[in-house]
Structure 1
Amino acid sequence: MTEHVDVLIIGAGLSGIGAAHHLQAALPGKTYAILEARETIGGTWDLFRYPGVRSDSDMHTLGYRFRPWTQAKAIADGPSILRYIRDTAAEAGIDRHIRFRHRVVSASWSGEDARWTVEAIHDGEPVRFTCGFLFACSGYYRYDAGHLPDFPGIERFGGTVVHPQHWPEDLDHTGKKVVVIGSGATAVTLVPAMAGKAAHVTMLQRSPTYIMSLPAEDAIANTLRRLLGARRAYPIVRWKNVAAVTLFYRLSRRRPRLVRSIIRKATIRRLPPGYDVDTHFKPRYRPWDQRLCIVPDGDLFAAIRDGRASVVTDRITEFTETGLRLESGTELDADIVVTATGLRLLALGGIRLTVDGRDVALPETMAYKGMMLSGVPNFAFTIGYINASWTLKADLVSEYVMRLLRHLDARGHDQCVPVNDDPDVTEQPLMDFQAGYVLRSIEEFPKAGSRTPWRIPMSYAHDLVDLRYGPIDDGVMRFSRRPVPREAARRSA
């Protein structure tokens, strides 16, 4: 039996639950369902279970616009974020619309019927849904496997090797020598979190990353919440933090030497006297060529200062029976090696799209406003910012989709599709970002364009005006009604 809904949302993580909340609030008469491949709500925040897992954005911007973050810690731990998402779903009754263990494999659009037919696998069996609008909120991480380089000799290592994306519940690192390979957000989170119990934790990096310390608690936010209450304080704090992040990002792009100097001086203050900052904390690239790593209350620097952790900047020659041998000739003993070597991206969750029998090759499409695909009707997807919190963009995308659906209903249209017929638009990467996980997979994603509305500015202020208030019928988005069936046409005649 095929189930039909007005809107089908793919993914029950931060974006999917937010999209459902926006849909219920803006268009309560619409029917919808959420297809979730896993067994529970939460997406990334349920998948990652490694020690210390937390946000790398403050929760006043990573939280939903419609639901204030009320906890004292602004840089929140993973379980708290997961609770926030699940509470949002439960309180709004969204959880009743979720179909768990439904992995979407394909979606085909019929212009004649003005609907999507979505094929999924549920407990090993194929199931089918149809919908008028398809909304992909599955993020861009591949959930079944992280990135693991080909390390020579890894098979002969006598200890435990673990990737953060698949953390064993029974892994005990108490009193163990731990080597964490990597220098990104996951590594700088793991090192201080494991250092409390481990004999010693070494962060082994090929090259340094920009790392900044921020207070775990936002004193202004906590004060305003006490004085004004959560509802009134939340938008003030949200805009304060948006402004701070935006200004720092722009300063980084315009005055990279100044920002590099600011970060360096702050790093020196938190490390032991005489520490070799140039070797371990002086990146080769400019600030914000890659995402900055945030450490709450300087916990990574504190672990280094106390001697519980250390940083080694070198390259791996091979694994040995007892650890790792490096290019410098140094050998690192280890009982546990954590390969925090990055994630793998997967465009639209690996879903195969077809439009009127034609396969959609994603790299041949262009992203309209960073959220729809040229030539693909009644379809939207969510990808957040790389220079600010994910949810800032996710909220705006959902708001725009609600405006678009309302526009369709008001004018009696069945279909909307962005069409790129501007010969002056040139292709650009969807994410102009130098992080390894992006560079490894960006060619599999849709393209951005050189001109509006195909250009992706990565600016919340720009998107706020464009997506919340800009015209829906802008000449690029085309609207139509589905053809009248011949029998119906003859009867009406």
Structure 2
Amino acid sequence: MTTDAILTDGPLDVLVLGAGISGIGAGHYLRTEHPSKSFAIIESRDVAGGTWNLFKYPGIRSDSDLNTFGYEFKPWRDPQAIADAPRILDYLHEAITEDRLEEVIVYNRRATSVDWSEAEQVWNVTVHRNDTDDDFVIQARWLFSGTGYYNYAEGFTPEFPGIEKFAGQVVHPQHWPEDLDYAGKKVVVIGSGATAVTLVPSMAGETEHITMLQRTPTYVIPLPREDAISNFMKKVLGADRGYALSRQKNILQQKIVFNLCQRYPKPARKIIRATNTALLPKDFDVDTHFNPPYNPWDQRLCVVPDGDLFKAISKGTASIETGRIKTFTENGILLEDGTELDADIVVTATGLNLQLFGGMEIKVDGETVDLSDTVAYRGMMLSGVPNFAMAIGYTNSSWTLKIGLLCEYFCRMLTYMDASEYTSVRAVADKNMDTRPLLDFGAGYVQRALNWLPKQGTEAPWTMTMAVSADVKQLRKGDIVDDYLDYRRVSVPAETAAV
């Protein structure tokens, strides 16, 4: 296991935060594009994998196809396109092995605060050892945050009236008990998002009955668990070429679906509704339970592989209730319309708490950075914050598609700085720039965090684009030098110079 020596032996060229899908991807690009640079990855947990190792609830899987959710540099060879967590973890651990990243990952380490020193041109990073509960300080010339954007320690649970009366067990999917016995039990899953539509069909075969209780319906669409066309391409053209072609096919497919939903919301709603109706019993109340009050892709569509949710409902092992909770009771939940739902177990699949950069405090020369005062540059840097890259993927497509493009731009920037002997760079935003929310997305976890999130501008390169084609221009082909980037050459003391 990698020790702290890699962190403390002089300033690192790059410190990567998080060994999830973003951090592992960054590690690959650093290995291949800048093999001479020193870097390390710190991970707050005792294993790599991020989201895919954290969540343990039944049926956990991707809600994006793995031909686009996988890395561009590493073909996804498994026949499952909508893949379960163990398969994704195997893929990520293969990536770690192939790039020898086990040599640079230090587990049980979390950055709690970082402070940029302009005089030394380094980040002073306070690192907490989770296994020994003490702190130490290291230095790095660059920080790459691959921490995702939600709080790993705590999910979001609303205040439910009367919950203390409930005699059964309440579980949040983010803290799923490994010994939870739900066989033959009555279960209510509160929520209608990706987690809820995964849990319900996964548990339905073992529970006495399971009910998805939603306040607001969500658009739910069936997709094949296996992508037959992509699998055929890989078989005929080989893993590498077939994967590359499948990836482009699915990127185009995602773009077309998203754009059509945004441009023609009424026909898109009718198509989704007709699909739902065809897969549900004839007397099922589609108007109540699958009729969201917003347009398709105003929030993320929920995918159910092979229509498993609809099959569970059709079999009668699962059901949906739409309404507001009046109160918990000793035996379950009472809704405002008088409906009573008996439950032995209630699962609160009520969402996530947004948290950037693992909750660490960011300072520049001792002054705390107010994230809400910053603007995202090319979706990768924060205005006024030197040598700091962040990885935030797409909300309307596969997360990883953007991460690869961000890493490419980051590595090109490092190459340019080396060639020009620059020691730091920061993006400078016009104080009078028009701005809008960083994540222009209707999901509750985003809306709850808007007041403290960074902003984005209204024109490139200050926009947080959500389209691969736009980011190919902005990141893969985007300028490394422009009027908004302030590159600096600063002499640093000999003791902090590269060794």
* Normalised TM-score (structure 1): 0.97
> How far apart in 1 are the matches of 2:460 and 2:84?
37
Q: Per-residue displacement from partner, 1:57-108 (whole Å, max 9, x unpaired)?
A: 0000000010000001100001111111111102211012111111110111
Sequence identity (%): 52
Alpha carbons of structure 1 residues 204 and 40: separation in structure 2 relative to 1, 3 Å? same
> How far apart in 2 are the matches of 1:274 and 1:446?
47
- SS for the counterpart of 1:303 is helix
Counterpart of 1:43 (choices 41, 44, 50) is: 50
* Equivalent residue number for residue 303 of structure 1: 312
Q: Which runs of 5+ in 1 are unaligned?
A: 488-493
Q: Quote how far apart the aligned CAs of 1:422 are.
A: 6.6
Q: Which runs of 5+ in 2 are unaligned?
A: none
Residues 1:314 and 2:323 aligned together: yes
> How far apart in 1 are the matches of 2:494 and 2:102?
41
Say if 2:222 and 2:307, in contact at 8 Å, map to a contact too: yes
* Equivalent residue number for residue 120 of structure 1: 127
Q: Quote how far apart the aligned CAs of 1:486 are.
A: 11
Q: Quote how far apart the aligned CAs of 1:445 are.
A: 1.2
Matched to 1:451, the amino acid is E
* Equivalent residue number for residue 446 of structure 2: 438
Matched to 2:138, the amino acid is F
Matched to 1:427, the amino acid is T
| Count of residues in Structure 1 that have an aligned counterpart in Structure 2 | 487
Matched to 1:239, the amino acid is Q
- SS for the counterpart of 1:121 is strand
Q: Quote how far apart the aligned CAs of 1:421 are.
A: 2.6
5 Å-filtered alignment, 1:373-392, equals: 373-392=382-401
> How far apart in 2 are the matches of 1:87 and 1:442?
37
Matched to 1:32, the amino acid is F
Q: Quote how far apart the aligned CAs of 1:348 are.
A: 1.5
Q: Quote how far apart the aligned CAs of 1:52 are.
A: 0.4
Q: Per-residue displacement from partner, 1:5-38 (whole Å, max 9, x unpaired)?
A: 1100000000000000011000100010011111
Q: Quote how far apart the aligned CAs of 1:53 are.
A: 0.3
Matched to 1:290, the amino acid is Q
Instruction: Provide the alpha-carbon RMSD of the alignment.
Output: 1.4
5 Å-filtered alignment, 1:28-427, equals: 28-122=35-129, 123-421=132-430, 423=432, 425-427=433-435
Say if 1:347 and 1:444, in contact at 8 Å, map to a contact too: no
Q: Per-residue displacement from partner, 1:256-296 (whole Å, max 9, x unpaired)?
A: 00110110011100001121100000100011111000000
- SS for the counterpart of 1:354 is strand
5 Å-filtered alignment, 1:440-459, equals: 440-459=448-467
Q: Quote how far apart the aligned CAs of 1:172 are.
A: 1.2
> How far apart in 2 are the matches of 1:18 and 1:473?
24
> How far apart in 2 are the matches of 1:207 and 1:154?
21
Say if 2:461 and 2:474, in contact at 8 Å, map to a contact too: no
> How far apart in 2 are the matches of 1:438 and 1:41?
26
| Runs of 4+ in structure 1 over 4 Å off | 484-487
- SS for the counterpart of 1:245 is helix
Say if 1:178 and 1:338, in contact at 8 Å, map to a contact too: yes
Matched to 1:446, the amino acid is P
> How far apart in 2 are the matches of 1:413 and 1:282?
55
Alpha carbons of structure 1 residues 393 and 272: separation in structure 2 relative to 1, 3 Å? same
> How far apart in 1 are the matches of 2:181 and 2:75?
36
> How far apart in 1 are the matches of 2:444 and 2:90?
31
Residues 1:474 and 2:482 aligned together: yes
Residues 1:18 and 2:25 aligned together: yes
Q: Per-residue displacement from partner, 1:193-235 (whole Å, max 9, x unpaired)?
A: 0001111110000111000000000001111111111011011
> How far apart in 1 are the matches of 2:366 and 2:57?
43
- SS for the counterpart of 2:30 is helix
- SS for the counterpart of 1:400 is helix
Q: Per-residue displacement from partner, 1:85-135 (whole Å, max 9, x unpaired)?
A: 111102211012111111110111111111111101112111222111110
Q: Quote how far apart the aligned CAs of 1:484 are.
A: 5.9
- SS for the counterpart of 1:106 is strand
Alpha carbons of structure 1 residues 40 and 375: separation in structure 2 relative to 1, 3 Å? same
Q: Quote how far apart the aligned CAs of 1:153 are.
A: 1.3
Q: Quote how far apart the aligned CAs of 1:485 are.
A: 5.9
> How far apart in 2 are the matches of 1:223 and 1:69?
13
Greater shift after overlay, 464-473 or 23-32?
464-473
